Amino acid sequence: MSAPVPSYWEDTATPDESGARPLDGDRQVEVAVIGGGYTGLAAAYRLAGVHGVDVAVLEANRIGWGASGRNSGFALTSVGKVGLDERIRKWGLEAARASVRLGVDAVETVRELIRSEAIDCDAQPEGALTVAHRDERAPELQERVRTYREVLGYDGVDYLSREHLVHEGYLRGPSAGGGIRFRTGFGLHPLKYARGFAKATARRGAALFDRSAVISWERDGSVHRLATAGGTVRARKVVMATNGYTPEHLHPYFRGRMLPAASNIVVTRPLTAAEWGAVGMATTQVYSDTRRLLFYWRRLPDDRLLFGGRSGVFDTPAALARRRRWLEAAIADKWPELAGIGSEWFWHGNVGLSYDLIPHMNTIEGDPTVAYAMAYLGSGVALSTHCGGLAADLVMGKAVPRDTPVTATEIPRFPLPALRKVYLAGAYLAYGIEDRWR
């Protein structure tokens, strides 16, 4: 087991009251879920609560140890990294429209869960912004709003000019060249959400086992045998919910299909009123920018700035220290008044990338008893909550919407998977250069 990752979220969360404990002895269940993040919890919540079956969640570390307890807490409508025009061109108009609905449904799933289970996770008012990091990128955002409204039939987006951003208390600074405001999307405390979700899942009757890594997965006729150090779970069905921490060795299907990539976060001391005035953010709505390697940020309820971005292929102490300095420097680039502010917390975690840059929820080829949902490409708070539930339905043999490639196609294998880190390093280099000039 790995220790909890020190973070602002760990230091401000309420304890895990789900009753999760290490597996001790052998058990037989209808469905075993591997992974105790949002995907695994969502699957177990639905399996126990709606399908009424015996379910056990096996989590290698603590509940929410992975990306679910470390992310920036933006529940967004984003679906992967394929742009709107490309979705329309490649998937057709109906599937592109359905993908926008999927994103909105996912955020509504989270809101509804928080409401119905009374999860205390500091859910913020609705609103998520994508900001042009240079003035020249603003027309592209205007065009995107037009596509959403006129082509995709979605009017939950507004374009805000640089002047609007300033006057309405959204943002100031050299890299606030205009933006899209999504009316659906909000910030929450990710670890409080994970722990509240786990408690609700246990209340529905699911058995949660933490500190219980699955170390081998064998098939015994129609039964899956998942071995942990403390005992074995025998199950008729399995949901794989390991996203950016998917082991390569456990099941041959999952070999070479996921590319984990580090996303990094700093949290500053509380800013003064004058500093927030310089940043121009009078709101706790959540932000990202138009870079290929985008930065994301939010004003936390206690007036600290959370700021993050994706980079780094190796996690040596020197590399991690460089990433922290890189984020601190990026804050000063965006808001020169904050130069030298430093940070009180720094941590990172794995997001899961797929070769075709979209999330996937499906059963594995030739075996409807194994379902998975993964590869949220850094935007999985809402989608994992939604797709985990879909994976539960699918593994129970229920129909799920198959109207986008997210649920209609399988997760592809990377060509030459051994070179995945090389692809990542190459992409970072190319995107970094592009972001400098564009």
Ligand X SMILES: Cc1cc2nc3c(=O)[nH]c(=O)nc-3n(C[C@H](O)[C@H](O)[C@H](O)COP(=O)(O)OP(=O)(O)OC[C@H]3O[C@@H](n4cnc5c(N)ncnc54)[C@H](O)[C@@H]3O)c2cc1C
Q: Is residue 36 within the footprint of ligand X (CB under 6 A)?
A: yes
Q: 256 to 285, contacts with ligand X by CB under 6 A? A: 263, 265
Pick between residue 207 and residue 250 the one whose CB is nearest to ligand X.
250
Q: Is residue 380 within the footprint of ligand X (CB under 6 A)?
A: yes
Pick between residue 42 and residue 138 the one whose CB is nearest to ligand X.
42
| Continuous segment of H or E residues that includes residue 9 | helix 8-12
Query: Please, what is the minimum distance in Å from the beta carbon of residue 167 to ligand X?
Result: 27
Stretch that binds ligand X, among 10-18, 59-67, 81-89, 267-275 (CB under 6 A): 59-67
Q: Is residue 8 within the footprint of ligand X (CB under 6 A)?
A: no
Whether 374 contacts 27, CB under 8 Å: no
Whether 16 contacts 195, CB under 8 Å: yes
Q: Is residue 127 within the footprint of ligand X (CB under 6 A)?
A: no
Distance CA 240, CA 254 (A): 9
Within 8 A by CB and 6+ apart from 224, the residues are 32, 217, 218, 234, 235, 236, 237, 238, 369, 370
Query: Please, what is the minimum distance in Å from the beta carbon of residue 397 to ligand X?
Result: 22
Within 8 A by CB and 6+ apart from 151, the residues are 84, 88, 93
Whether 47 contacts 31, CB under 8 Å: yes
Q: Is residue 77 within the footprint of ligand X (CB under 6 A)?
A: no
Stretch that binds ligand X, among 52-60, 117-125, 329-337, 411-419 (CB under 6 A): 52-60
Selected binder of ligand X within 247, 260, 277, 401 (CB under 6 A): 247
Q: Is residue 16 within the footprint of ligand X (CB under 6 A)?
A: no
Inter-CA distances, 296 with 116, 118, 281, 424, Å: 29, 28, 14, 20
Inter-CA distances, 349 with 33, 327, 334, 346, 373, Å: 21, 15, 24, 11, 18
Q: Is residue 71 within the footprint of ligand X (CB under 6 A)?
A: yes
Q: Is residue 58 within the footprint of ligand X (CB under 6 A)?
A: yes
Cα 366 from chain centre: 28
Token pair belonging to 202: 């246990």
Token pair belonging to 203: 């209340």
Query: Please, what is the minimum distance in Å from the beta carbon of residue 271 to ligand X?
Result: 20
Selected binder of ligand X within 7, 39, 362, 363 (CB under 6 A): 39
Distance CA 201, CA 208 (A): 8
Q: Is residue 70 within the footprint of ligand X (CB under 6 A)?
A: yes
Pick between residue 82 and residue 88 the one whose CB is nearest to ligand X.
82
Helix, strand, coil % over all residues of the chain, rounded to 5: 35, 25, 40
Pick between residue 18 and residue 243 the one whose CB is nearest to ligand X.
243
Q: Is residue 390 within the footprint of ligand X (CB under 6 A)?
A: no
Query: Please, what is the minimum distance in Å from the beta carbon of residue 89 to ligand X?
Result: 25
Distance CA 353, CA 379 (A): 10
Pick between residue 127 and residue 138 the one whose CB is nearest to ligand X.
127
Q: Is residue 233 within the footprint of ligand X (CB under 6 A)?
A: no
Q: Is residue 244 within the footprint of ligand X (CB under 6 A)?
A: yes
Inter-CA distances, 311 with 134, 244, 326, Å: 21, 15, 10
Q: Is residue 40 within the footprint of ligand X (CB under 6 A)?
A: yes
Query: Please, what is the minimum distance in Å from the beta carbon of residue 360 to ligand X?
Result: 11
Q: List b or e across 312-324, with b for residues whose CB sees 16 or more CB atoms inside 10 angstroms.
A: beeeeeeebeebb
Stretch that binds ligand X, among 6-14, 28-36, 142-150, 153-161 (CB under 6 A): 28-36
Q: Is residue 214 within the footprint of ligand X (CB under 6 A)?
A: yes
Q: Is residue 379 within the footprint of ligand X (CB under 6 A)?
A: yes
Stretch that binds ligand X, among 4-12, 48-56, 334-342, 378-386 (CB under 6 A): 378-386
Pick between residue 8 and residue 91 the one whose CB is nearest to ligand X.
8
- Going by C-alpha positions, the residue among 378, 118, 418 that lies closest to residue 261 is 378
Q: Is residue 309 within the footprint of ligand X (CB under 6 A)?
A: no
Number of residues that bind ligand X (CB under 6 A): 45
Rule CB under 6 A: which residues touch ligand X? 34-40, 58-61, 65-68, 70-74, 76, 213-214, 241-245, 247, 250, 263, 265, 308, 348-351, 374, 376, 378-382, 384
